[in-house]
Amino acid sequence: MATDSRTWFYTTPEPRPYFIEERVNHTLWKNRLQGLSMICTQWTPPIKMEGSWNGMPVLFEWQPGKYFILRSGREVKELIGVMRQILLMRPALAYTDTNGLFTVEWHTDGGETRWNEIKGGPEYQGLRRLRKG
């Protein structure tokens, strides 16, 4: 099955966990992340998935066509870079959340609204803007 982010991020996927898992996992594996396998934990928007990569927790959350959030046990440039290629856009912001997970957010609108919502919030440690408007 040939899949890419158009089948699950840029269009709303069918609300069936197996289909979402199949599309996302095939996209990851096709893009050099064979060791990462995600399980769908919420199949209605915002869609949520969780998995493990080299013993590190990885979480996805996204609202189709609007935003994608990657949370992981630490900052891994390879993982962020591959997700950038998969999503076909640069990430908007990065920070460490209250659970100690390194978080990167992509926003199709550039992330300006989200940046204004969270800047200065103490729960967003090390908040960085990665992309302007």
**Beta-carbon contacts of residue 81 (< 8 Å; ≥ 6 apart):** none
- Summarize the confidence of residues 111-130 as an average pLDDT: 94
pLDDT tens by residue, 24-41: 999 999 999 989 999 999
Cα–Cα distance measured from residue 109 to residue 129, given in angstroms and rounded to the nearest whole number: 14
pLDDT tens by residue, 56-87: 999 999 999 999 999 999 999 999 999 999 99
Tally of domains in the chain: 1
Confidence category of residue 1, pLDDT binned at 50, 70, 90:
low
| Domain coverage including residue 9 | 5-129
Q: What is the pLDDT of residue 133?
A: 52
Q: How many helices, marked H, and strands, marked E, lie in the chain?
A: 3, 7
**Beta-carbon contacts of residue 12 (< 8 Å; ≥ 6 apart):** 45, 64, 65
End-to-end CA distance of the chain: 35
Q: 88 near 9, Cβ under 8 Å?
A: no
- pLDDT of 5 > 90? The answer is yes
- pLDDT of 131 > 90? The answer is no
What is the reported pTM? 0.95
Count the helix, strand and coil residues of the chain and give each as a percent rounded to the nearest 5.
25, 30, 40
- pLDDT of 113 > 70? The answer is yes
